[in-house]
Amino acid sequence: MTTFESATERLDRLLTLVPWLMTNQGIDLAQVAASFDVSQEQIVDDLQLLFVCGTPGHMPDDLIEASWEGGKLYVGNAETIATPLRLGRDEALALIVALRALAASTDPANRDAIDRALMKLEQASGESGSVANRVSFAVEDDQNAAHHLERLRSALSDHRRVSITYLAASRDESTDRDVDPMRVVQVGGYWYLEGWCHRADDVRLFRLDRIEALKVLEQDGTPPEHATSRPIGPGVFRPSEQDELVLLVLEPSAAWVVEQFPVESVVELADGYLEVGIRVADPQWLTRLIWRLGGQARVISPASLVESIRHAAQKALAMG
């Protein structure tokens, strides 16, 4: 099964790839692939696409030149996009404010790197930096999260295991877990504990405001060597094989779903329709998504979930 890549993701890579190659002529194909975290075949596909890209006119001299003979990459006739993308005034201002908020709420161990990045950005942005000084912000913690945060930081620094009682919102049940903490991070206004969960025998994320009880144990809390942190962004959810696999059919107008959410498979059907496989931990989340899409999406399996969504829709209509 191939990994689906959206057009937006590929465009972002191409806009970064061209100026980078222009300043690194003759670089090895393998090194480029490793730097952009894609296969060598994908880089070759990108270069073949660049052959048909260029300025208006559609003549040979208007198109980008690319070659990779002997495993060495060269790009030419791309001066119009050879300059790396720069932040606009509003973008720089938003980034400065976000970094200041992050510095105020992050772990001390990470604050030095954030401060250095903030200093360089303020120096480069000029006027935007002074405007940002007039913006005030406050990071508000949930009481439950704030109560646990200090003890988790202590457990991290002392390499201690923690015992937690955690409320899984998708199942509305609490479970007791022993966790070796790896880090605490704030994403989208919520604090999360990432650690090695001995119940799941894997790395897991726990939202601090859903931790009902927490105790720092005397046991060593060093995670296993093979435990690795996962990328965490606005879409914190990362599907696992234990989550239910749901098949959807999306109309062309709902194709944005495959770019917005982590999907497991995408099959192109006739007339621009897509059959999408997506792992779902919370059936209520899927129900809300289907309602949001109106008639643009249809669940085709599993049958139990199809019936559940139909029943929920009928109940909502009856209440209206």
Q: What is the DSSP letter of 1?
A: -
Query: Looking at the domain assignment, is residue 2 inside a domain?
Result: no
Q: Are residues 283 and 312 located together in one domain of the fold?
A: yes
**What φ, ψ does residue 269 adopt, rounded to 5°?**
-105, -175
Identify the pLDDT of residue 186: 73
Q: In this structure, are residues 198 and 179 in contact, taking their beta carbons and an 8 Å threshold?
A: yes
Identify the pLDDT of residue 178: 96
Q: Are residues 123 and 152 located together in one domain of the fold?
A: no
At 186, which CATH number?
Answer: 2.30.30
pLDDT tens per residue across span 254-299 = 888 887 677 788 999 988 899 998 887 667 777 877 877 777 888 8
Query: Looking at the domain assignment, is residue 235 inside a domain?
Result: no
Query: Looking at the domain assignment, is residue 232 inside a domain?
Result: no
Query: Looking at the domain assignment, is residue 234 inside a domain?
Result: no
pLDDT tens per residue across span 50-75 = 766 756 555 656 677 777 777 888 88
pLDDT confidence band for 223 (50 / 70 / 90): very high
Q: In this structure, are residues 24 and 31 in contact, taking their beta carbons and an 8 Å threshold?
A: no
Q: Are residues 275 and 312 located together in one domain of the fold?
A: yes
Q: In this structure, are residues 286 and 302 in contact, taking their beta carbons and an 8 Å threshold?
A: no
Buried b (16+ CB within 10 A) or exposed e, 240-254: eeebbebbbbbbeeb
pLDDT, average across residues 112-125 = 68
Strand intervals (E) in the chain: 27-28, 65-67, 72-76, 160-168, 173-187, 190-197, 202-207, 211-220, 244-250, 265-268, 274-280, 297-301
Instruction: Please check the confidence at residue 194 and state whether its pLDDT lies above 60.
Output: yes
Identify the pLDDT of residue 138: 45
User: Does the N-terminal peptide bond of residue 223 adopt cis geometry, omega within 30 degrees of 0?
Assistant: no
Q: Are residues 207 and 255 located together in one domain of the fold?
A: no
For residue 284, give the H/E element and its range: helix 283-293
- The Cα–Cα gap between 197 and 210 comes to 16
Share above pLDDT 70 across residues of the chain, in percent, rounded to a whole number: 66
Which residue among 72, 102, 132 closes a domain?
132
Per-residue tokens: 57: 């006119």
Residue-range definition of the domain harbouring residue 198? 143-220
pLDDT, average across residues 23-45 = 85
Which residue among 60, 81, 102 closes a domain?
81
Q: Are residues 304 and 248 located together in one domain of the fold?
A: yes
Query: Looking at the domain assignment, is residue 34 inside a domain?
Result: yes
Q: In this structure, are residues 41 and 93 in contact, taking their beta carbons and an 8 Å threshold?
A: no
- Given the structure tokens 């962004």, which residue do they identify? 233
For residues 96 and 238, the model is more confident at: 96
Identify the pLDDT of residue 34: 86
- The Cα–Cα gap between 69 and 77 comes to 18
Instruction: Please check the confidence at residue 111 and state whether its pLDDT lies above 70.
Output: no
Identify the pLDDT of residue 59: 60
Query: Looking at the domain assignment, is residue 229 inside a domain?
Result: no
Report the domain count for the chain. 4
At 56, which CATH number?
Answer: 1.10.10.10
Contacts of 58 (CB under 8 A, 6+ apart): none
Query: Looking at the domain assignment, is residue 227 inside a domain?
Result: no
Mean pLDDT of the chain: 76
Per-residue tokens: 135: 């913006």
Q: In this structure, are residues 239 and 220 in contact, taking their beta carbons and an 8 Å threshold?
A: no
Q: Are residues 74 and 93 located together in one domain of the fold?
A: no
Q: Are residues 181 and 127 located together in one domain of the fold?
A: no
Query: Looking at the domain assignment, is residue 259 inside a domain?
Result: yes
Share above pLDDT 90 across residues of the chain, in percent, rounded to a whole number: 13
Nearest to 64 by CA among 14, 115, 4: 14
